[in-house]
Chains A and B, each alone.
Chain A
Amino acid sequence: MKRKAPTTLFLYALLLALSVWYVVPFVWALVTSLKHPGMVFDGRWIPYAQKRTITVNGEERELRIVEERGDTFLVRMSGTEELREVPRGEIEHVSPNWKNYVEAWNIVPFGRYFLNSLLVSLCMTLGQLVTCSLGGYAFSRLEFPGRDAIFLLYLATLMIPGPVLTVPIYLLLREYHLLNSYQGVILPGLFSAYGTFLLRQFFLTIPRDLEDAAQIDGAGKFGVYLRIILPLSGPALAALATFVFIGSWNDFFWPSIVLTDPGMLTLPVGLAHFNDIYLFEYGRLMAGSMISIAPAILMYLLFQRFITRGVVMTGLKG
Chain B
Amino acid sequence: MTKNRTLRQTLVGYGFLLPNIVGFLLFTLGPILFSFLISFFDWNLFSNPVFVDVANYRTMFTEEGSRFWYYFGNSLFFLVVVPLQMTIALGAAYLLNENLRGTLLFKVIFFIPVVLSVIPVAIIWGYILDTENGLLNALLASLGVGKVAWLFDSSWVKTGISLMVVWQGSAFSTIIYYAALQGIPDQLYEVATLDGAGRWKQFWGITMPLLTPTHFFLGITGMIGALQIFGPIYVMTHGPGGGARNLITEVYWKGYQEFQMGYASAMSWVLFILILFLSVFYWKYLSKRAEYA
Contacts and interface: CB of A to CB of B under 8 A. Distances in A.
B255 A166 contact: yes
B256 A252 contact: no
Interface stretch (B53-61, B63-71, B230-238, B284-292): B230-238
What is the predominant secondary structure among interface residues of chain B facing chain A? helix
Given A11-B98, A15-B95, A157 B127 contact: no
A165 B33 CA distance: 9
Interface in A260-295: 267-269, 271-272, 275-276, 279-280, 282, 285-286, 288-290, 292-293
Given A168-B35, A169-B31, A311 B120 contact: no
Given A12-B100, A308-B111, A318-B168, A157 B28 contact: yes
Contacts, number: 287
A11 B128 contact: no
A254 to B, nearest CB: 10
Contacts of B189: 1
B126 to A, nearest CB: 8
Interface stretch (A20-28, A58-66, A88-96, A209-217): A20-28
Interface string B101-132: 01000101111111111111101111110101
Contacts of A280: 130
A47 interface: no
A167 B265 contact: yes
B124 A138 contact: no
Given A142-B12, A154-B24, A167-B264, A289 B124 contact: yes
Contact of B175 (A188, A190, A312): A312
B78 interface: no
Interface in B178-209: 179, 189-190, 193, 199
A86 interface: no
Contacts of A145: 6, 10
Given A15-B106, A18-B88, A271 B119 contact: yes
B119 A168 contact: no
Nearest to B25: A191
B26 interface: yes
B150 interface: no
Interface in B1-22: 6, 9-10, 12-14, 16-22
Contact of B95 (A11, A162, A290): A11
Contact of B34 (A18, A137, A168, A288): A168
Contacts of B17: 134-135, 138-139, 150
B225 interface: yes
A318 B120 contact: no
Contacts of B40: none
B16 A138 contact: yes
A317 B221 CA distance: 8
A161 to B, nearest CB: 6
Contacts of A147: 13
In this complex, the interface size class of chain A, counting residues with CB under 8 Å from chain B, is 35 or more
A153 B108 contact: no
A276 B276 CA distance: 35
Residue of A8, A163, A267 contacting most chain B CB atoms (<10 Å): A163
A238 interface: no
B268 interface: yes
B261 A318 contact: no
B68 to A, nearest CB: 15
A19 B100 CA distance: 14
12 contacts: A15-B100, A28-B127, A41-B132, A135-B19, A143-B9, A163-B271, A170-B255, A170-B256, A250-B119, A268-B120, A289-B120, A300-B115
Interface of A: 1, 3, 7-8, 11-12, 14-15, 18-19, 21-26, 28-29, 32, 40-41, 43, 130-132, 134-135, 137-139, 142-145, 147, 150, 153-154, 157, 159-172, 174, 187-188, 190-193, 196, 221, 225, 246, 249-250, 252-253, 256-257, 267-269, 271-272, 275-276, 279-280, 282, 285-286, 288-290, 292-293, 296-297, 299-301, 304, 307-308, 311-312, 315-318
